[in-house]
Amino acid sequence: MNKKTMIISLAAALVCAFYLGDAQQTKKQKNLFDWNNNFDPEHQPVNNPNAKKLPLIMVKGNKFVNVLGDTILFRGVAVADPDKLEQEGKWNRNLFVKLKEYGATLVRIPVHPVPWRMRTPLKYLPLLDQAVDWSTELGMYVIIDWHCIGNLGMELFQNPEYVTTKQETYEFWRTIALHFRGNNTVAFYELFNEPTLFNGQLGSMSWSEWKKINEKMIRLVRSYDRERIPLVAGLDWAYDLTPLHIEPIEAEGIGYVTHPYPYKRSKPYVPKWDEDFGFAAGQYPVMATEFSFGLGSMGLADNGEYGNEIISYLESKGISWVCWIFDPLWKPNLLQSWENFTLTESGEFFKQALAGKSWEKK
């Protein structure tokens, strides 16, 4: 084979490879498109007769309100991933009944990427449907939380169970928004649990980059569902909202998330909370969708001093809150064991807080 023939053959091979690769990519994209646009009935918006049973929750100024304009301050509890609970035989209505008995008005449902992927959306969605039906019956609202920790911009994550991609994240919210549109019980879509760079170990991502990613997710969600309220997390494991001074998210009708765990700041807490996230509640709806502690651990006194102070602070600012987590295995755990729903000491604290009472050591 002479040099000219070799060049022609190589060029032809490259062209074939290009079109073959392009065809494969097109087929992959078509499969994804078909999956999202030719759902079977279980993927379609649920024609649920109770979808409007609870009043629609909306944003008005810096508050969450119902259709009558009444300001709603949510007190809630997070449960574990439904996939985990179902495998353990603990995914049932009684779990939700107990939260209602304690006084919860909001239930946070964390969906991890790995079980969502492994179970497949077709088999995962029925678990979420059950949660929504039980909550509706009991008069509680729901947050659906894409429970990842890490840097979505560079797709680097803190632990394997949080590994996802931007595409999977977008596909998740397409699926959820289509499936639950029109259902008032699902009041909030928490777009990403805890963005963090882990002191640079998970790469870099500026607030401006994070802002753009969230704005894309919000536009995508609202192409299917304009009534649910997207919740956007601050940086530093969803704690820091200071960038809102300069670059708030360019979208109306949203809320912001903070996770004020006790190890974030030392005493005195209040001026630091004001600086880090409390200021935002003067202009935007803010929700502490995750925080907790172990009484007697992390340098905290057994009398629940931190707990009383953070609950008092949040409610004085009109900040709704959700405690973590109603499970005996995941930490910091509110349950000591499933038997008779035995609570830990911090579980007893939040039981009182859900009822609007201050903690007093027995």
∠ CA 35-37-42, rounded to 5°: 75
Note the pLDDT of residue 5. Answer: 45
Is residue 268 within 8 A of residue 201, CB to CB? The reply is: no
Residue 48 pLDDT level (bands cut at 50, 70, 90): confident
Note the pLDDT of residue 46. Answer: 61
Q: What H or E segment, with its residue span, contains residue 260?
A: none
Note the pLDDT of residue 294. Answer: 75
Residue 276 pLDDT level (bands cut at 50, 70, 90): very high
Per-residue pLDDT reduced to its tens digit, 175-193: 999 999 999 999 999 999 9
Is residue 292 within 8 A of residue 334, CB to CB? The reply is: yes
Percent of the chain residues past pLDDT 90, beyond the cut: 79
Note the pLDDT of residue 57. Answer: 98
Separation CA 139–CA 55 (nearest Å): 10
Per-residue pLDDT reduced to its tens digit, 329-358: 999 999 999 999 999 989 999 999 999 998
Start-to-end Cα distance in the chain: 92
Is residue 77 within 8 A of residue 332, CB to CB? The reply is: no
Sheet holding 149-151, edge to edge: 156-157, 149-151, 194-195
Separation CA 195–CA 157 (nearest Å): 9
Separation CA 341–CA 336 (nearest Å): 8
The answer, yes or no, to whether residue 28 has pLDDT greater than 50, is: no
Hey, which residues does 109 pair with through a beta bridge?
144
Note the pLDDT of residue 192. Answer: 99
Query: Residue 362 carries which DSSP code?
Result: -
Least confident span in 4-8, 137-141, 291-295: 4-8
The answer, yes or no, to whether residue 305 has pLDDT greater than 90, is: no
Is residue 144 within 8 A of residue 173, CB to CB? The reply is: no
What angle, 0 to 180 degrees and rounded to 10, lies between the N-to-C axes of helices 3-37 and 166-180? 30
Instruction: Tell me which of 304 and 269 has the higher pLDDT.
Output: 269
Average pLDDT over residues 263-290: 96
The answer, yes or no, to whether residue 224 has pLDDT greater than 60, is: yes
What HEC string does 47-67 produce?
CCCCCCCCCCCEEECCEEECC
Residue 361 pLDDT level (bands cut at 50, 70, 90): low
Residue 47 pLDDT level (bands cut at 50, 70, 90): confident
Strand bridging mode 229-233 / 194-195: unpaired
Provide CB contacts within 8 A for 357, sequence distance 6+. Answer: none
Separation CA 73–CA 312 (nearest Å): 13
Q: What H or E segment, with its residue span, contains residue 122?
A: helix 121-138
Note the pLDDT of residue 111. Answer: 98
Note the pLDDT of residue 309. Answer: 94
The answer, yes or no, to whether residue 10 has pLDDT greater than 60, is: no
Is residue 113 within 8 A of residue 163, CB to CB? The reply is: yes
Helix (H, G, I), strand (E, B) or coil at 107: strand
Q: What tokens were used for 20? A: 């073959």
Per-residue pLDDT reduced to its tens digit, 69-120: 999 999 999 999 999 999 999 999 999 999 999 999 999 999 999 999 999 9
Separation CA 196–CA 261 (nearest Å): 15
Note the pLDDT of residue 19. Answer: 41
Evaluated on CA atoms 241, 244, 249, 252, the torsion sign reads positive
∠ CA 29-109-222, rounded to 5°: 50
Strand bridging mode 186-190 / 106-111: unpaired
Note the pLDDT of residue 303. Answer: 54
Is residue 108 within 8 A of residue 79, CB to CB? The reply is: yes
Separation CA 339–CA 321 (nearest Å): 26
Is residue 185 within 8 A of residue 228, CB to CB? The reply is: no
Note the pLDDT of residue 296. Answer: 52
Separation CA 254–CA 164 (nearest Å): 24
Residue 301 pLDDT level (bands cut at 50, 70, 90): very low
Percent of the chain residues past pLDDT 70, beyond the cut: 84
Average pLDDT over residues 135-163: 98
